Structure 1
Amino acid sequence: MNVLIILEDFVNDESMVLPIVKAMMVAIGKPKARVTVCKNPRLRGHAEALRWEKIQEILERYGGMTDMFLVCVDRDGNEDRRAKLDGLEKKAQKFLTEKYQSPKKFLGENAWQELEVWVLAGCEDLPKSWKWSEIRAEEKSKKGYFVQFAEQRSLLEARCQGRGILAEEAAKRYDRIRQRCPEDIQEIEKNIRQWCELSQ
């Protein structure tokens, strides 16, 4: 199975999302899944990642070699983002079904509230004073929590402020990420599992 992840900013987000999605595929029973990140075209921000014209371009370019497309964007406290993703999923799924004979799947998810929270979910050494419900609810969780944690771990000077280093650690505790992120990680996993069962 070939999975292509579509991100709003692959430069910063790839190192976080890739190890977590790979760990998810192992948990689902697809350890040999080939998971990659779309780098061409380079999307700049959630507006481009949610724009149909950009998504269509990606589907046309990579559809023949991809079984599943997964768009991951920050929620940023925006309650309408899920509705936008739903509309995009519908349009993209229709396009893939009409264009290709082999089964293909398009999924979209918004991280509560930013992708960095998925990484924090798998870290066991967060400050004791932090409440998980507050981290999940914080619209600016990257600045409010992730950067502080990266600084505490002396990773601010590392590539992408240590996102990759922390994500690799977190992905080893995928069950913990899954348990702490029911609104997004569990949803992605459930949808992938359902599709895998249907397409067998």
Structure 2
Amino acid sequence: MKARVLVVPEDFRQDQYVLKPLITALIEAAVGPGAVVRVCQDPLLGGVSEALKPARIREIVAKYQAMVDLILIIVDRDGEEGRRARLDFVEREAAPTGACALIAGEAWQEVEVWVLAGMTDLPKGWRWKEIRAERDPKERFFSPYAAQRGLAQSPYEGRDTLAREAARAYKRVRDRCEEVAALEARVRDRLLSPPAAR
């Protein structure tokens, strides 16, 4: 299946460089090669609070549902235990009509952790459980890692380069981040089921 997917991040300005390669790898693992993945840039949500408003997501659904098979909302968990319940609410309240599906996912604790999951050369003193539990892993782990790789001053602070590298190791990302594995399973289920069953 050549899935057409629109990824809706909480703020595309940095997240797009992480999400496009990793979500492309996720979609292709779920339903096969040939996925067309776009990152929503209109509207700019500008933060997680806007991405969690059903009215804002309904606007996006209304604008794009005829053009894609799946609208995928991805936000950072940011240590918020109630984030999953809020995403479930947004999915219900902003559900598309017709054949398009809407799925919302959360990155523990930020999307940059998915990038780190694909790396095999993290500093020896770093523990994966610590990275996953850290509320601000971008500042504590991702930025220092990008600097170690000589990418801190590169465009997008290394996100583009490192995310493409992580996407090539997608199985490792999925194995280390249970929310990625769960998201892949949901995507597979929704895209491979008949439209009437969605």
Q: Secondary structure at the match of 1:35?
A: strand
Matches within 5 A, 1:32-181: 32-93=34-95, 96-97=96-97, 100=98, 103-181=99-177
* Match of residue 185 from structure 1: 180
Deviation readout 1:99-130 (Å, 9 max, x if unpaired): x3xx2211111100000000000011100110
The letter of the residue matching 1:115 is V
Work out the percentage of aligned pairs sharing the same amino acid: 43
Q: Secondary structure at the match of 1:66?
A: coil
Matches of 1:70 and 1:29, distance apart in 2: 15
Question: TM-score with structure 1 length normalisation?
Answer: 0.94
Deviation readout 1:175-197 (Å, 9 max, x if unpaired): 00000001x10111010111123
Q: Secondary structure at the match of 1:5?
A: strand
Contact in 1 for aligned 2:74/2:105 (Cα 8 Å): yes
Query: 1:30: Cα distance to partner?
Result: 2.5
Query: 1:29: Cα distance to partner?
Result: 3.2
Give the CA RMSD over aligned residues.
Answer: 1.1
Change (3 A) 1:187 1:4: same
Q: Secondary structure at the match of 1:72?
A: strand
* Match of residue 16 from structure 2: 14
Q: Report the count of equivalent residues.
A: 193
Q: Note the residue ranges of structure 2 that are not aligned, 5 or more in a row.
A: none
Question: TM-score with structure 2 length normalisation?
Answer: 0.94
Query: 1:157: Cα distance to partner?
Result: 0.5
